[in-house]
C-alpha cells in the first residue's frame, strides 16, 4: 500500500472491533519476565510499563549481558550521573541478587537532556563495547540508539553501595581463578571470591568508599588508588602505607578513583580521605574505575622521603641502582635534583648503576648518540653539593634501535667514586656492536673489553637496551658489575582484562635476556667460583617472576628477598607496590652483605613532585 493511501472502515466493522478489543482486555495476562537465558541477537523488543525490562536482567550475573544485541523497551530507573555523551541510571527497585548490577550506561553520542534525579524510561539496543581500544579489555554493557522518556524530576538517588565494612567486602587476593577467560562456557561468576566478578556486579552503580587511604599517588592520568576502611581488611601493607603484590596476590581490593567527572587532588601514599568517596563504577583502559562525582578532600598522611643510613665502616662498599627516567643534559633542574638526592638522600654510594640516561640533547635528535655532557653535569652537580668526585662509565648505543623515547637513545651506565680506591681493570673500551668476552688469566677471569656490552647482537635484545658489564678493581681484587634494563611490560595484558590469567607477551623476551646475562655470569664463575659479581638494574619484573628465576639460577641471590615481605618494592603501579629494580650477587659477595635497603624517594609521591617513578635499592658490603 502506498503511504498516501487511506483506509476506509465500515461503521459496523468498527463497532465489532471495539467489542473484541474489550473482551480481549478482560482476559489479558501479565507477560512473564524475560529471563537471562533468552536467545541472543533476536532483535525482538521487550515491552512493558514502568521498569519494564529491569536493569538487573539486562546486566545479568555475568560479564556479558544475556540480552546483548536485543532491543529493550521502557527500562525504568533514576538518572544518577550525566556526562558529555550519555548518562548512568539505576533501578528504583533492586532485585535480591547482589551478583546482578542495578545500574547501566545509556550512550547518547551527544550531551543528554536528562538531569540527575530524573526518573526515566529508556528504550534501545543493548550492546557490549570495549573502552580503551585494547581487545584484551573487558566490555561495558550499555544501551544505544536510546529513546528516553522523563517521567519526573528531582527524585532522590539510590543509596550508594558501600565497598567495605558495613557493605560488600571486595576479594583481597584473587582477581580471577577460573584460568580460562571470561568467555569460557565452564566459567563460574563468583563476585564473592573473584575481584573481576565483584566489580562487574557493581558496574554502572553508585558506590561509596569509607575511610579511603591512598596506596597509589596521583598519576599523570590524574587517577588515585585507594583502599577502603584505612586498609584494615587488605592484604600485605608496606610500612609506609602502600600495599605489596605477592606471587598469587595482585590486590583486587584496590579501587581506582578517576577524574572523568570532577577534578581530583594531588596526593601521596598514606594520605586519607576526609569523608566518604562516592562515584559510579565504570570500566576503561583495562581497569574498573570509580568515577568520583564530588571532589574528595584528603588529609596529609605525613609520608616523608627517606635518607640512607650512612653510618658505616670506612671499609664498606655501597652499590646502588637507579632508573633516572629519561635524563639528559638538557634538563638542568632535574640533574640538580638528582645530584641532591645522591648526596643528601643516598649518601653518595660508591657505585651507582644508572638506567635511562639519554643523549645530551634529550629527544631532540640534533646530535649523535652521546651522553658525555649528561654524565658531566651530574658529576659537577654532586661536587657542587659537597659530594665526592665521581667518574662515569658509558657506551653510547646505536641510534634509535634500543627502545625508549624516539631519538632519546636511553642507555645504562655507571657513576663510581674516585676517592674509595675503585678503578677500572685495564682493557680496551668497548663499543656498541662488539661483544665482550671472558678470558682466563692466571686462573682468574677478566674482560676483553672494559666496559663491554654482553652479546649486543643477540635477538633477546631486539628493540631493548643492551646489558653493560664493568670490571672494577677494589682492594686489588676484581668486582664485576652488570647493569641491565630489560624490556618493559607495556604490551602485557591487563590484570583486570578479558583473558585470565593475563598473557604476558613481553615475558618471553625478558626470559631470553635473563638467560644471556645468567650464562655470562656463569662463565665468570666457572673460572673462579669465588668471583665477586653484581647484577643490577631495572629488570621490569618481579622477584618471583620466571625471568628473575632464570637470572638467579643457582649462582645468584636476589637481595630484595632479604627484606621483609612488606618492604620488597621499588615501584608503585596502579596502587600496587612492587619490585622492578634489583640487586643480585654471586655467592662470594652474598657472604659479604652487611645491609640491603630501598630508599623511597619517588614512587609513593604524586607525579608532579617525582624525580623518577622508581626508588633506589642500595646494598652495603664488607669487603675487607
Cα distance between residue 612 and residue 341, in whole Å: 11
Are both 55-152 and 316-622 of the same fold?
A: no
Q: Collapsing DSSP states into helix, strand and coil, what is residue 183?
A: coil
pLDDT at residue 52, as a whole number: 60
Q: Collapsing DSSP states into helix, strand and coil, what is residue 16?
A: helix
Q: Which residues pair with 162 in a beta bridge?
A: 208
State the cell numbers at 477: 681484587
Q: What is the pLDDT of residues 492-519, one digit of tens each?
A: 999 999 999 999 999 999 999 999 999 9
pLDDT at residue 11, as a whole number: 38
Output DSSP code: residue 24.
Answer: H
For β-strands 272-273 and 277-284, DSSP reports them as unpaired
Q: Collapsing DSSP states into helix, strand and coil, what is residue 196?
A: helix
Cα distance between residue 454 and residue 520, in whole Å: 8
Burial of 607 (0-12, 13-18, 19+ CB in 10 A): middle
CA 209 to chain centre: 21
For β-strands 287-292 and 213-216, DSSP reports them as unpaired
pLDDT at residue 182, as a whole number: 72
Yes or no: say if 395 and 353 are a contact pair by the CB < 8 Å rule.
no
Which residues of 370-425 form beta strands (DSSP E)?
390-394, 411-417, 423-424
Output DSSP code: residue 32.
Answer: P
Yes or no: say if 562 and 585 are a contact pair by the CB < 8 Å rule.
no
Yes or no: say if 310 and 620 are a contact pair by the CB < 8 Å rule.
no
CA distances, 15 to each of 6, 11, 24, 72 (Å):
19, 6, 15, 34
Q: Which residues pair with 168 in a beta bridge?
A: 163
The domain ranges of the chain are: 55-152, 159-300, 316-622
Number of Cβ within 10 Å of residue 183's Cβ equals: 10
Total-model pTM: 0.90
| Preceding omega of 451 cis (within 30 degrees of 0) | yes
Q: Which regions of the chain are under pLDDT 50? A: 1-51
CATH T-level assignment (fold) for domain 159-300: OB fold (Dihydrolipoamide Acetyltransferase, E2P) (2.40.50)
Cα first-last separation, the chain: 103
Yes or no: say if 406 and 400 are a contact pair by the CB < 8 Å rule.
yes
pLDDT at residue 47, as a whole number: 34
Walk across the sheet containing 616-622 and list its strands: 390-394, 411-417, 351-357, 316-327, 616-622, 593-599
538-459-569 Cα angle (round to 5): 15
The dihedral sign for the CA sequence 251, 512, 469, 329: negative
Walk across the sheet containing 298-299 and list its strands: 161-162, 206-209, 277-284, 287-292, 255-258, 224-227, 213-216, 272-273, 298-299
Output DSSP code: residue 542.
Answer: -
pLDDT at residue 5, as a whole number: 32
Which residues of 163-236 form beta strands (DSSP E)?
206-209, 213-216, 224-227
Output DSSP code: residue 229.
Answer: G
Q: Collapsing DSSP states into helix, strand and coil, what is residue 498?
A: coil
Cα distance between residue 532 and residue 557, in whole Å: 12
Cα distance between residue 278 and residue 343, in whole Å: 44
pLDDT at residue 311, as a whole number: 64
Burial of 529 (0-12, 13-18, 19+ CB in 10 A): exposed
Cα distance between residue 400 and residue 585, in whole Å: 31
CATH number for 316-622: choose from 3.40.50.300, 3.40.50.10800, 3.40.50.720, 3.60.10.10.
3.60.10.10
CATH number for 55-152: choose from 2.40.50.140, 3.40.50.620, 3.20.190.10, 1.20.58.2050.
2.40.50.140
The residues, ordered by sequence, that sit 6+ positions from 30 with a Cβ below 8 Å of its Cβ are none
* Number of residues assigned to the chain: 624
Q: Collapsing DSSP states into helix, strand and coil, what is residue 56?
A: helix
Q: Collapsing DSSP states into helix, strand and coil, what is residue 342?
A: helix
State the cell numbers at 589: 659477595
Yes or no: say if 318 and 352 are a contact pair by the CB < 8 Å rule.
no
| Preceding omega of 501 cis (within 30 degrees of 0) | yes
Amino acid at each position: 500500500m502506498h503511504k498516501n493511501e487511506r483506509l476506509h472502515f465500515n461503521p459496523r466493522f468498527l463497532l465489532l472491533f471495539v467489542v473484541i478489543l474489550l473482551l480481549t482486555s478482560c482476559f489479558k495476562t501479565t507477560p512473564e519476565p524475560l529471563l537471562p537465558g533468552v536467545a541472543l541477537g533476536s532483535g525482538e523488543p521487550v515491552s512493558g510499563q514502568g521498569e519494564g525490562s529491569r536493569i538487573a536482567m539486562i546486566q545479568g550475573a555475568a560479564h556479558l549481558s544475556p540480552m546483548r544485541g536485543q532491543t529493550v523497551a521502557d527500562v525504568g530507573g533514576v538518572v544518577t550521573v550525566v556526562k558529555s555523551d550519555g548518562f548512568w541510571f539505576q533501578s528504583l527497585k533492586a532485585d535480591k541478587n547482589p551478583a546482578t548490577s542495578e545500574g547501566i550506561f545509556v550512550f547518547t553520542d551527544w550531551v543528554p537532556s536528562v538531569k540527575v534525579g530524573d526518573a526515566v524510561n529508556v528504550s534501545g539496543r543493548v550492546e557490549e563495547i570495549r573502552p580503551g581500544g585494547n581487545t584484551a579489555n573487558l566490555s561495558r554493557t550499555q544501551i544505544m540508539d536510546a529513546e528516553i522518556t522523563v517521567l519526573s524530576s528531582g527524585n532522590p538517588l539510590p543509596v550508594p553501595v558501600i565497598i567495605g565494612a558495613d557493605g560488600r567486602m571486595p576479594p583481597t587476593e584473587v582477581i580471577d581463578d577460573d584460568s580460562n577467560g571470561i568467555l569460557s562456557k565452564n566459567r563460574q561468576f563468583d563476585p564473592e571470591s573473584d575481584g573481576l566478578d565483584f566489580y562487574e556486579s557493581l558496574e554502572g552503580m553508585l558506590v561509596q568508599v569509607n575511610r579511603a587511604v591512598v596506596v597509589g599517588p596521583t598519576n599523570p592520568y590524574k587517577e588515585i588508588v585507594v583502599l577502603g576502611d584505612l586498609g584494615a581488611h587488605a592484604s600485605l601493607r608496606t610500612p609506609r602505607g602502600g600495599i605489596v603484590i605477592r606471587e598469587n596476590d595482585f590486590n583486587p581490593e584496590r579501587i581506582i578513583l578517576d577524574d572523568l567527572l570532577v577534578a581530583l587532588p594531588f596526593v601521596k601514599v598514606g594520605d586519607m580521605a576526609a569523608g566518604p568517596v562516592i562515584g559510579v563504577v565504570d570500566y576503561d583502559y583495562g581497569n574498573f574505575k570509580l568515577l568520583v562525582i564530588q571532589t574528595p578532600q584528603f588529609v596529609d598522611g605525613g609520608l616523608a622521603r627517606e635518607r640512607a643510613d650512612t653510618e658505616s665502616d670506612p671499609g664498606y662498599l655501597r652499590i646502588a641502582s637507579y632508573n633516572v627516567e629519561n635524563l639528559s643534559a638538557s634538563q638542568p633542574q632535574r640533574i640538580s635534583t638528582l645530584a641532591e638526592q645522591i648526596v643528601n638522600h643516598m649518601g653518595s654510594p660508591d657505585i651507582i648503576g644508572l638506567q635511562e640516561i639519554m643523549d645530551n640533547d634529550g629527544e631532540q635528535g640534533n646530535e649523535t648518540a652521546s651522553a658525555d655532557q649528561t654524565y658531566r653535569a651530574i658529576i659537577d652537580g654532586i661536587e657542587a653539593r659537597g659530594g665526592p668526585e665521581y667518574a662515569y662509565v658509558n657506551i653510547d648505543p646505536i641510534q634509535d634501535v634500543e627502545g625508549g623515547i624516539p631519538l632519546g637513545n636511553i642507555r645504562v651506565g655507571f657513576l663510581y667514586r674516585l676517592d674509595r680506591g675503585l678503578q677500572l681493570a685495564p682493557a680496551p673500551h668497548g663499543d656498541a656492536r662488539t661483544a665482550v668476552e671472558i678470558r682466563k688469566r692466571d686462573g682468574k677471569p677478566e674482560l676483553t673489553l672494559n666496559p663491554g656490552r654482553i652479546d649486543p647482537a643477540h635477538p633477546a635484545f631486539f628493540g631493548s637496551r643492551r646489558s653493560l658489564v664493568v670490571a672494577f678493581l677494589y682492594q686489588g681484587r676484581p668486582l664485576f658489575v652488570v647493569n641491565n634494563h630489560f624490556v618493559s611490560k607495556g604490551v602485557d595484558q591487563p590484570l583486570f582484562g578479558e583473558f585470565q590469567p593475563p598473557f604476558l607477551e613481553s615475558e618471553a623476551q625478558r626470559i631470553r635476556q635473563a638467560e644471556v646475562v645468567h650464562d655470562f655470569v656463569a662463565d665468570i664463575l666457572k673460572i673462579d667460583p669465588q668471583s665477586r659479581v653484581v647484577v643490577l638494574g631495572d629488570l621490569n619484573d618481579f622477584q618471583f617472576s620466571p625471568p628473575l628465576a632464570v637470572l638467579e639460577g643457582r649462582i645468584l641471590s636476589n637481595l630484595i628477598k632479604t627484606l621483609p615481605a612488606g618492604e620488597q618494592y621499588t615501584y608503585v603501579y596502579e596502587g600496587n607496590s612492587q619490585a622492578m629494580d634489583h640487586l643480585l650477587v654471586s655467592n662470594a659477595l652474598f657472604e659479604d652483605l652487611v645491609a640491603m635497603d630501598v630508599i623511597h624517594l619517588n614512587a609513593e609521591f604524586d607525579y608532579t613532585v617525582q624525580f623518577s617513578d622508581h626508588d633506589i635499592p642500595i646494598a652495603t658490603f664488607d669487603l675487607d
